[in-house]
Amino acid sequence: MSTPHTPIRLLVVDDHNLFRRGLIALLGQDARLRVLGEAGDASHALNLAQRLQPDLILLDNHLPGVQGVDAIADLKQAVPGVRILMLTVSENVDDMAAGLRSGADGYLLKTIHTEALCDSICKVWEGDSVVSPEMMGKLVGLLRQAPTTDAPEATASEAPGAQAVSGVFAVSADDPIHQLSPREREILVLIAKGDSNKHIARALEIAETTVKIHVQHILRKLGLSNRVHAAVYATERGVI
């Protein structure tokens, strides 16, 4: 596994050869990253992942045969601790929701600029999660919809302390959200709206490093692993 002083080792999975080769060339210009291998389908990706043990996998969803979202569980089992960042053209909110529920650590659109993609890879490797700004509003909108009988059961059951009542989540007295300070709750609201640490720092007129510390405290108190999960958690509890 990579350390802060060694490049993040990547596996690129995309069925479009021209796009894949161009992406690899662009990623190779960033000293923080090193591409170990490439694959055009889920089966090849799984074989390479088992052999190369990458730190992070850039995964398209629309692959021949098994879709990317359906390969996430096997990839994570093959490489314990691997981060998976979906990079796709799909702006379908159901595709994004399926990817995040399956364990993806982020969801980016292929329209992203190279510098932003490289920065996002580094953020995900450091334990953060990323979602394209164009998709965050859709994610929040999806989460605010009333649950239906056809929706996955995990929506309510995966959120300890929250119960659905007439389509609205009521927060129980023992919910860990009550452990947050007023400032932490304020930051949680901004996270749920999709704001970056930089934007939060500007909005609250505090240092970005202070925001990072607050975010770490929020995640620890809520028992969550990244800010996307925090956004889901907050939206389910109606904090925005």
In the chain the domains, ranked by start, together with CATH numbers, are 8-137 (3.40.50.2300), 147-236 (3.40.50.2300)
| The pLDDT of residue 149 | 36
Helix (H) or strand (E) segment spanning residue 83: strand 83-88
Q: Phi and psi at residue 85, in whole multiples of 5°?
A: -115, 115
User: What residues of the chain score a pLDDT lower than 50?
Assistant: 146-170
Of the candidates 137, 170, 172, the one whose C-alpha atom is nearest the C-alpha of residue 236 is: 170
Say what the pLDDT of residue 144 is.
Answer: 60
Residue 47: count other Cβ atoms within 10 Å of its Cβ: 13
Partners of 11 in the beta sheet? 37, 57
- What's the pLDDT score for residue 152? 38
Structure tokens at 66: 């098994």
Residue 107's Cβ-count burial label (10 Å; 0-12, 13-18, 19+) is: buried
Two tokens at 54?
A: 């990458």
Which distant-in-sequence residues (6+ apart) come within 8 Å of 216 by Cβ?
A: none
**Could you read off the pLDDT of 78-105 as tens digits, one per residue?**
999 899 999 999 888 888 888 888 889 8
Position 227 scores a pLDDT of 78
Q: Write down the pLDDT at residue 225.
A: 72
pLDDT value at residue 131: 87
State the pTM of this model. 0.67
Q: What is the structure's pLDDT at 114?
A: 92
